[in-house]
Amino acid sequence: MTLAEKILAAHSDKKSLSPGDFINVRPDLILSNDITAPIAIKEFRKLGVKKVLDPGKIVMVPDHFVPNKDIASAEQAKMLREFAQEQGIIYFECGQMGIEHVLLHEQGLALPGDVIIGADSHTCTYGALGAFATGMGSTDIATAMATGEIWMKVPPTMRFVYHGKPGKWVGGKDLILYTIGRIGVDGALYAAMEFTGEAIDNLSMDGRFTMSNMAIEAGGKAGMFRADGKTLEYVSTRAKRPYTVHELGPESECASVTEYDISKLEPQVAAPHLPSNVKPVSALSGVKIDQVVIGSCTNGRLEDLRLAASVIKGHKVAPYVRCIVIPGSQQVYLDAMAEGIVETFIRSGCAFSTPTCGPCLGGHMGILAAGERAVSTTNRNFVGRMGSPKSEVYLANPAVAAASAVLGRIANPDEV
């Protein structure tokens, strides 16, 4: 069995299973946020049960429109707060909260071998830990909160092998953008993507979270890494409960194997309006921009901020360009302060915000006007994603984003 199959089998009543099987799975963590939880709570009430089955496995994080951007979003956040108090579930108030997919593994709540379901498509982020993590809808979450179970179709595994040593400015974001560019936004539809190869062995945990995060942008159900020494080092000081590392043969069977040599890869940029519309940064240099966003569940971790700060240090954001930097969690914020990164950004003329999903989904804190163009370290560049349906978003890594902020156009970090 593949990693995905082993984890799913261990959370079901099956000893072995195959792609296409319908199974009932008992997840370790059931997640929702201030957009998806209100519907989940309403549907939960319809089920006729008073209490969630296991409050210790349920997490609600108000992160999308929080700090509340308007009265309606404040009402939604209030629903989460009241439900969390009533049910005794795990909840992070504004001030402790971070972007859910930066926060949960940082807090040791998401662990290797887990099945994690979330009413948020980027729940696949936790695959970086060697977990099976997947996004679903609010009604799914409502029934899982009540019963402790969820139905799943076992996905086929598509293995992606990355060879070679990446260039100076190439990281997890570039590997995943390159992959989505090659296979398309439905290239891994319904499948569990598994990332391996020596380039992956050398990739940091933060880089792995970035890759797993964007598996959904290829249609994937999960984006998984095998837990290794780096994973165990990451979780050893954080884990709040036991976890499982599944033993796997080097060549466990899978539906497909795709190999890439990334040694000559340039930083990659996804042009509007699909994450698969990927080009090397040099093909887009010269595209003038109005805004840069550095943050999100894709690239809002400490390593991302360090990388962007290293490029922008000693420079100023270009005239008439805004650069908005959003740490993914309070811990990332504190660490960035301790390292002097926050000051670097502010002295360079960036706006530095409290954690929020904010502009990534066109929520608040950096909405684009008609005709405006942004370079963003986020995950989607659909029509209207960051504001006006007449605006444009280019997806890139944090170094490219920082370089673009300095030069006021899409730029390779070497140009700064």
Binding pattern to other proteins, positions 107-126, x when CB under 8 A?
Answer: -----------xxxx-x---
Alpha-carbon span 36 to 79, nearest angstrom: 11
Residues 375-404 interacting with other proteins (rule: CB under 8 A) = 380, 382-385, 387, 389
Residues 299-358 interacting with other proteins (rule: CB under 8 A) = none
Alpha-carbon span 326 to 106, nearest angstrom: 16
* Closer residue to other proteins, CB minimum distance, 224 or 235: 224
* Closer residue to other proteins, CB minimum distance, 197 or 359: 359
Distances (CA, A) of 124 to 110, 239, 252, 323: 11, 19, 21, 28
CA angle, corner 131, sides to 11 and 151, nearest 5? Answer: 40
* Closer residue to other proteins, CB minimum distance, 188 or 302: 188
Least Å distance between CB 240 and other proteins? Answer: 26
Selected binder of other proteins within 35, 58, 192, 203 (CB under 8 A): 35
Q: Of 176, 194, 334, nearest to 251 (Cα)?
A: 194
Stretch that binds other proteins, among 38-46, 108-116, 278-286, 329-337 (CB under 8 A): 38-46
- Using CB under 8 A as the binding rule, whether residue 135 contacts other proteins is answered as yes
How many other C-beta atoms can be found within 10 angstroms of the C-beta atom of residue 102?
Answer: 31
* Closer residue to other proteins, CB minimum distance, 57 or 409: 57
* Closer residue to other proteins, CB minimum distance, 53 or 351: 53
- Using CB under 8 A as the binding rule, whether residue 151 contacts other proteins is answered as yes
Selected binder of other proteins within 139, 204, 252, 354 (CB under 8 A): 139
Q: Of 332, 323, 304, 261, nearest to 172 (Cα)?
A: 304
Residues 255-294 interacting with other proteins (rule: CB under 8 A) = 274
* Closer residue to other proteins, CB minimum distance, 166 or 275: 275
Q: Of 397, 2, 399, 8, nearest to 196 (Cα)?
A: 2
- Using CB under 8 A as the binding rule, whether residue 366 contacts other proteins is answered as no
Give the bridge partners for 274, in sequence order: none
How many other C-beta atoms can be found within 10 angstroms of the C-beta atom of residue 240?
Answer: 10
- Using CB under 8 A as the binding rule, whether residue 38 contacts other proteins is answered as yes
Residue 160 tokens read as 């992606």
- Using CB under 8 A as the binding rule, whether residue 159 contacts other proteins is answered as no
Alpha-carbon span 214 to 219, nearest angstrom: 9
Helix (H, G, I), strand (E, B) or coil at 38: helix
* DSSP 8-state code for residue 414: G
- Looking up tokens 């999960």 gives 222
Alpha-carbon span 410 to 176, nearest angstrom: 19
Alpha-carbon span 342 to 334, nearest angstrom: 9
Q: Of 97, 86, 94, nearest to 44 (Cα)?
A: 86
* Closer residue to other proteins, CB minimum distance, 126 or 352: 126
* Closer residue to other proteins, CB minimum distance, 146 or 308: 146
Least Å distance between CB 21 and other proteins? Answer: 10
Do the bridges between strand 150-153 and strand 22-25 make them parallel or antiparallel, or are there none, so unpaired? antiparallel
* Closer residue to other proteins, CB minimum distance, 172 or 363: 363
Selected binder of other proteins within 2, 12, 125, 138 (CB under 8 A): 138
Selected binder of other proteins within 13, 15, 16, 22 (CB under 8 A): 22
How many other C-beta atoms can be found within 10 angstroms of the C-beta atom of residue 389?
Answer: 12
Least Å distance between CB 137 and other proteins? Answer: 4
In the chain, % helix, strand, coil (3-state, to 5) comes to 35, 20, 45
Residues 78-107 interacting with other proteins (rule: CB under 8 A) = none
Least Å distance between CB 281 and other proteins? Answer: 24
Least Å distance between CB 138 and other proteins? Answer: 4
Sign of the Cα pseudo-torsion (68, 70, 73, 74, in order): positive
Task: State the DSSP H helix or E strand holding residue 201, giving kind and residue range, or none if neither.
Answer: helix 198-201
Alpha-carbon span 381 to 360, nearest angstrom: 9
Alpha-carbon span 51 to 36, nearest angstrom: 19
Selected binder of other proteins within 18, 189, 240, 286 (CB under 8 A): 189
Stretch that binds other proteins, among 139-147, 172-180, 192-200, 207-215 (CB under 8 A): 139-147
* Closer residue to other proteins, CB minimum distance, 283 or 367: 367
Q: Which residues bind other proteins (CB under 8 A)?
A: 22, 35-36, 38-39, 42-43, 46-49, 64-65, 69-70, 72-73, 76, 118-121, 123, 135-140, 142-143, 146-147, 151, 185-186, 189-190, 216, 219, 221, 274, 361-363, 367, 380, 382-385, 387, 389
